Structure 1
């Protein structure tokens, strides 16, 4: 029996499918996951969903400032009992509770909250995030323009950060075993390589157009009340999935200019 299997038995945890609780069992992968973040002793580290602590153990050794957010009461009790004042524990839903200030974000993210957590993460200032997500989600994070995986997530990440797939993790390395493989991904905030006139308009255009990605861009924007007509709007007869983030920036600037 793995240490994870033993802890599941000893704590009485019943992994919740609805919460996407699949606990990593391979310590070597955990070592590499934490290692990718290059954590210094004074870095403020935030971990979402510590679970049974396979990453928490390593993070607590790497820094003297670790905060964990855990929703499950049984798991939170275990983490609190095991690590005590070596960490700061926040009990609650990481999608809803405000994040404390942090330099490094490390997490094995459940699929059910991957999207809202990543979008929330991008609203904060930090040096690096290293997250484990389902492989198909990771592919959406780094997708090429025009590919089937290219999405709202791709564009938002591309605008705000450099994102890289670091390592595939087989489903056999989790307990209980999920149906799909996972991937470790790094996110490093950086300034976009293109300028836009208004971020709010940019993100609204991304949301509206990807919500109806099979429709022409002009049709989607008119239906959302963002433009009265397609006249003067670049790429109006294209579909959003064919536009690079830079081209979407040009589109958003044209929409903003029309409204001001």
Structure 2
């Protein structure tokens, strides 16, 4: 994360605080730990503010940070990632389960291309920095991990958020079906709209995020004309 003395780092899930202590030697750290006994161990550390709360219930906008560095709890990877992306910051360096990280950065045409890939791409540039084998941890977990760099881009596509969310969710819920069939199943379009929309005979794995955004913009125009 290239930490400097002027940086203010948000950390979620510090555990025993090994990473927390290293970061606090360089920068100011705000760390959020839900476990009271673990949080207590970190109290009093120089340059560290400890918040003993559920991170999903903390108002991040009330915190002063410009970077995020976390070995985040894997069971809340998705909601926590999008909670991060609702905020303004320079860069995040995050540890994820390998399968999740690969879906985050997957491109269209890949078997790992998913709803997660598109929704993250709408808000950030992501890349895998390093693979971390399960043997690097004690006790040894059942999964391998990856370190991911995430840089916010604001809102990449100028589309209606509700339409974009609904379309992406629908397409990946029916990823083996043609676009027109997936959207009709979920009541997003009807048969009369098919001829007026692009990519109707494609399947979602063949559409780039840019093409999905184009489809959403055309759909928005049609809906406005109804």
Q: Is TM more than 0.5 here?
A: yes
Residue 156 (structure 1) shift? 1.6
State the superposition RMSD in angstroms: 1.8
Could you tell me which residue of structure 1 aligns to residue 173 of structure 2?
211
How many residues are aligned here? 220
Give yes or no for contact 2:122–2:157 (8 Å, CA) kept in 1. no
Asked whether 1:256 is paired with 2:217, we answer no
Alignment of 1:59-208 (within 5 A): 59-63=23-27, 65-80=28-43, 83=45, 86-99=47-60, 100-190=63-153, 195-208=157-170
Structure 2 CA distance, aligned partners of 1:73 and 1:197?
42
| Distance change in 2, residues 1:211/1:96 (3 Å) | farther
SS of alignment partner, residue 175 of structure 1: coil
Could you tell me which residue of structure 2 aligns to residue 22 of structure 1?
none
SS of alignment partner, residue 88 of structure 1: strand
Could you tell me which residue of structure 2 aligns to residue 15 of structure 1?
none
SS of alignment partner, residue 55 of structure 2: coil
Residue 191 (structure 1) shift? 5.4
Question: Which 5+ residue runs of structure 1 have no aligned equivalent?
Answer: 1-36
| Distance change in 2, residues 1:212/1:96 (3 Å) | farther
4+ runs deviating over 6 angstroms: none
Residue 211 (structure 1) shift? 2.2
**TM-score normalised to the size of structure 1?**
0.79
Q: Deviations over 1:68-113 (max 9, x none)?
A: 11111221122225x2x63222222212322124210111122211
**TM-score normalised to the size of structure 2?**
0.90
Question: Which 5+ residue runs of structure 2 have no aligned equivalent?
Answer: none
Q: Deviations over 1:18-45 (max 9, x none)?
A: xxxxxxxxxxxxxxxxxxx112212221
Residue 121 (structure 1) shift? 1.3
Structure 2 CA distance, aligned partners of 1:111 and 1:216?
33
Give yes or no for contact 1:227–1:259 (8 Å, CA) kept in 2. no
Could you tell me which residue of structure 1 aligns to residue 3 of structure 2?
39
From 192, 195, 220, the counterpart of 2:182:
220
SS of alignment partner, residue 117 of structure 2: helix
